[in-house]
Every structure is written in C-alpha cells, then in structure tokens.
Amino acid sequence: MRIVSFIQGEEVGHASGNYFKIGHHKFVITAAHVVGEQETLYAEDYKDKVELSVAYVDSGNDIAFLVPKRELKSVKAVNYRTNKQLDIMGQTMVYAGFPADFNKSIFHGTVSTQSRYTFIMQSFALPGSSGSVVFDNKGRIVGVLSAVKVGMWGLSPFPQLHGSLVFVNRLNFYDKYMIEEILVKWKRSK
C-alpha cells in the first residue's frame, strides 16, 4: 500500500507498507523512518485516504506498526506469519512498493549477506520503496525494506544512489503474540 505523509496540510512524500491481521486486529507495517516527524499519515484506499495512527515505533530496527482509523476497503489484510529461519542466504525474496513516481511495482531479489537483525538483498529500490514488507517464496514475512546504498562513485561530487543493494530489517523476532500485545496496549491508551 502507498503511505502518504503530510506536514501542515501539505503532502511531503510517500512510502510503502503492507496491511496485516492477527485475530481481529488489523494494522500496517512500514519503516520507522517513514513515520519520522510527519504530522499526519494516510493509507491510500483506492481514491480515498484513511488516516493512520502510530501504534508502535522501533527506531533501532526501523520498524513501525500503524493502525488505520477505519478498515481499508481496497486493500485486503493478510495473515501475519513470519519466516523464522535465520539462514536465508541465497534465497529469493519479493516485495511490492511505490518507488519514486511509479505506481505499485513488484520486485524480487536474492539475499547476498545477512546478520541476525538485517540482510542485504540484490534487487532494486528507490525512495518511496521504504517500508515495503519483504516476503519469502512461501508468502511468509521476512523483513521491512529500510534503505538503499548511497555513496560516492566516479567523478561526481554528489552522492549517488546504488539502488541494487537493498537493506532489509528482519521481522522474525516480532511474533504474532508480541504484536497483538502492542496493539492491545495501544488501544487501551486511546
């Protein structure tokens, strides 16, 4: 899904996310940096925008859980289930996002390096892809797209985007019971 951010009533950017369910709880997962200092976040629901509330932000792992003010109509919430494997080296992963000015696009890539909490996938991403949830070939959640490589190459004095090295933060340590507890606490605080 496309997530649009506003500050003082003006659209300032967009990112990506996915809509999930655990029991009767429905929520959106995106990257924490997408939430940032935004005044208001909306999920695009066909031609409508639905406001999102921030339920939980894990800045250290760049993961955020958001709750829509109403159920989304044009996007179906999928069951939250994760790939708990730690060794995913060489596996093919897939994600859908909204890079730059493109419509929804689907990408796949191969895990080229990994650690306990992150991995790098050889794929493609541009700004706007942040927050896309990455899935394995069995439809299980593996992580959240966080960044692409930026560096200095050639003779240019400006940093350049290296969109084929995609950084992903793992989600396997957020089991469904932990997320349900987060959502219940958030709901009670409202």
| Mean predicted confidence (pLDDT) in 64-80 | 95
User: Quick check: 15 pLDDT over 80?
Assistant: yes
Q: How far is CA 69 from CA 23, 26, 53, 115, in A?
A: 17, 10, 7, 36
What percentage of the chain reaches a pLDDT higher than 70?
89
Q: Of the given ranges (1-10, 55-64, 71-80), which has the lowest mean pLDDT?
A: 1-10
Q: Of the given ranges (58-67, 157-166, 176-185), which has the lowest mean pLDDT?
A: 157-166
CA–CA distance, 108 with 129 (Å, rounded to integer): 13
What integer pLDDT is reported at residue 47 of this predicted model? Answer: 85
What integer pLDDT is reported at residue 154 of this predicted model? Answer: 59
What integer pLDDT is reported at residue 156 of this predicted model? Answer: 58
What integer pLDDT is reported at residue 85 of this predicted model? Answer: 86
If you count them, how many residues does the chain have? 190
pLDDT-based confidence at residue 67 (cuts at 50, 70, 90): very high
What percentage of the chain reaches a pLDDT higher than 90?
60
| Mean predicted confidence (pLDDT) in 12-40 | 90
**Cα–Cα–Cα angle for 132, 57, 29, nearest 5°?**
25
User: Quick check: 149 pLDDT over 50?
Assistant: no
How much is the mean pLDDT over the chain?
A: 87
Strands 78-79 and 18-22: parallel
Burial tier of 43 (Cβ tally within 10 Å: 0-12, 13-18, 19+): buried
What integer pLDDT is reported at residue 148 of this predicted model? Answer: 54
